[in-house]
Structure formats: structure tokens, C-alpha cells
Amino acid sequence: MTRSRPSTSPQERSYAVIAASFNEMIVRPLVEGATASFEAAGVSGDRLDHSWVPGAFELPLAALAAAETGRYAAVVCLGAVVRGETAHFEYVAGEAARGIMDVGLRTGVPILFGVLTTETIDQAMDRAGGAHGNKGWDAARAALEMVKVLDDLRVGAASPLWEGS
């Protein structure tokens, strides 16, 4: 069955940005980067909804709630999990990643994993607007790309992976 292409471009759709308030000094710049990235791509600020959850572990549930509304073309999840002296890092980082992936597979809505998982706070800051760029910016760009890719796949208009195919 061939579906029709959505009547709006990715830039004309709405997006949710859900951020973990734990490690807010790292996460806030990620949110600012995602917002700036969406706006630089032509998504107006009134098409962006921002929500805060307590920590990275809570991101999947909030992403599911956002995706199930049908209002969002994609959901960007942002957070920072920095390794400490206990196994807590592995549990939180792993379950946040698995949960975020599960939401996307369950709903068919792109759910982007913009959660930093680093050894140190300095490494996280480097990825939240420092020496290694802003991974919030990157996650927003990936959201726009995934919306377009899925739109194309759903109408059978996907382009070849490489020239000559």
C-alpha cells in the first residue's frame, strides 16, 4: 500500500525536546543547542515544546507520552549521565538508552538519544557546547533527518543508499 506524502515539510511540523534536570549545568546548554539547531533549520519556536524530567531514567516515559499524543514529528531526549564510583551509571545510562529506543520502535515516531554518557564532567561539558560541539544541536539535526527519511520510506520514495544502486 502506497501512502501519500505528509502535507508539511519537516520544518513545518512540531517537535518535543525533553530534558533531564539532573546535571542541569550540562543539560541546559544541550537544550539551547537543540533549540538553536531547530530554529536554524527553519523550525519556528512556536513549534517546539520543552519539558523537563528529573533524570535520564525518566526520559523514556516522557518520550512515550509525547509520542503518543500524535502532535510531534519527533522527540529529542537530552540528558547527561556522568560515571561515578558505583554501578549506578551503567543502570541509568543503559536503561535510558534502551527505553528511548523502545519508544521509537513502539510508536514509529523518531525518538532521538541525546544523552551524554561520559567518564567526567569535563568530557560532558566539552560535548555541551565545548571543544566537541553541542550534541543537543546534533540530536535536533538528526530528528529532522529522521522525519524526512521516514516520510520518504513511508511513501516508497526512498533514494538509493549510494550512486550506482
Q: Which residues are marked as active site? A: 88
Asked if 20 and 55 touch (Cβ cutoff 8 Å), the reply is yes
**Residue that has been written with the C-alpha cell 502506497 in this structure:** 2
**Residue that has been written with the C-alpha cell 568530557 in this structure:** 123
Q: Helix 59-68 vs helix 88-107: angle between axes, to the nearest 10 degrees? A: 10
Q: Going by C-beta distance under 8 Å and a sequence separation of 6 or more, which residues neighbour residue 12?
A: 47
The torsion angles phi and psi of 75, rounded to 5 degrees, stand at: -125, 125
